[in-house]
Amino acid sequence: MQDKLSSPEVPLEKLRWCCDPESLPFNTTADLPPLEGIIGQERAQKALALGVEIARAGYNIYVCGMPGTGRLTAVQQLLSTCQERATSPPDLCYVFAFKHPERPRLLTLQAGQGKALKKAMEGLLSALKQDIPALCAGENFQRRKEQLLQQTRHREQRLLEQFEKRLAPHFGLLWHDADRTLVPELTPVLEGRLTPLAELARRLDAGHFPSEHYRHLQAQHTTLSHDLSKVLATVRRLQQEAEEAVHTLERALVRPLIQQAIAHAAAPFTDPEVQQYFREIEEALNEDFERFLSTTPASDRETSPSALPALYEEDPFHEYQVNIIVDNTDTHGAPVIFETSLSLRSNTAACGAATSWAFALGLSTGRRVATWCSTRSMRWQNPWSGPR
């Protein structure tokens, strides 16, 4: 029995395909342009690109597929392209709110502007610490200040001289040095000498002074003491007016200096919130510029023999500090973070690093999140259910 196939036999040399190198239009693969994109999966790539471009919070893209199909490569290539076009996330800075001290103000600045603002504030304080004391110690200010104080002293002296004329010849003013301040005491005049009333009381007790004369002096002393209190109240009012006049003079002299320094520091910043912050700083400095006159240089504190070493010394101008919470100076484009071992701790760390641009994408609004799960599926915070 003969059972043979009716089909012809295939020769061994034709069982596999052989490529003829002469048929290829290049010498080596180095002559070929690099391949862009992913081979195949056109629908998935379009869906992925559409989902990434949706700039809204809460949108997610879930990518899944068989191992080796290029999921991670596709996502990485797309994100690198979008990252270059996207705007870098902003810097976040906390500053003192002068109108609401209990609530610090959050400033959102362009990437790199946080350090610039901090440097501008440090330069502003450094300049004012030198310029304000130098201005108030200048000859022009000291001369005008001395004129105001001299006028006040003349008025005080004239007022006291007029009162002493009223007291003569039975009473006078005995001046005591109390803590480097001269304090007048109303004192009777006996035998051309100022004799305190307490000394006359001791003489009366010893029987060396007439009681009728003592009672008469005591009655006069009570009446004149009331008048002296009025005179001293007028003197204190004159001193307060002089202090206010000197303060007004200082403010008029310092205000243009502060205004010019603020304008120089605020010039590089165009953000309305930053400009408002500098206006509040100017108001605060004009109201509290005396602090710049009472500060002691660091060199003087170090060389002072009575200075005690301190473990921590608080900055007297701490409310003018700029606290940079997030610095994106070196960030180019939107941040992209691939997390291969997702956990609550890594999620929190990434959120802190990207500041709600966590696991990053950021793109135009910095709202998308990409997370590479242990199941090797990619997930964005982009509520669009993307390619599957």
Contact 334, 82 (CB under 8 A): yes
- State pTM to two decimals: 0.62
pLDDT of residue 177: 80
Instruction: Concatenate the DSSP letters of all residues of 264-308 into one string.
Output: HHHTT---HHHHHHHHHHHHHHHHSTTHHHHPPPHHHHHH-TTPP
Residues making up the chain, counted from first to last: 388
Residue 382: what pLDDT? 35
pLDDT for the residue 305: 52
pLDDT of residue 54: 82
- Give the pLDDT confidence of 371-381 residue by residue, as tens digits: 333 333 333 33
Question: What is the mean pLDDT, run by run of 10 residues, along the chain of 388 residues?
Answer: 65 83 87 78 84 82 82 84 82 92 92 93 92 86 88 89 86 80 83 83 83 86 88 90 87 90 93 94 89 62 50 75 92 79 62 38 35 35 36
CA distance 345 to 367: 20
CA distance 230 to 238: 12
Can you say how many angstroms the Cα of residue 41 is from the centroid of all Cα atoms in its chain?
A: 51
CB 350 within 8 A of CB 44: no
The confidence score (pLDDT) of residue 280 equals 93
Q: What whole-number distance in Å separates Cα of residue 14 and Cα of residue 198?
A: 140
CA dist., res. 372 & res. 339, Å (int): 5
Residues of the chain with pLDDT > 90, as a percent, come to: 20
Q: Please give the helix or strand (H or E) that residue 323 lies within, else none.
A: strand 323-326
- The pLDDT value recorded for residue 372 is 34
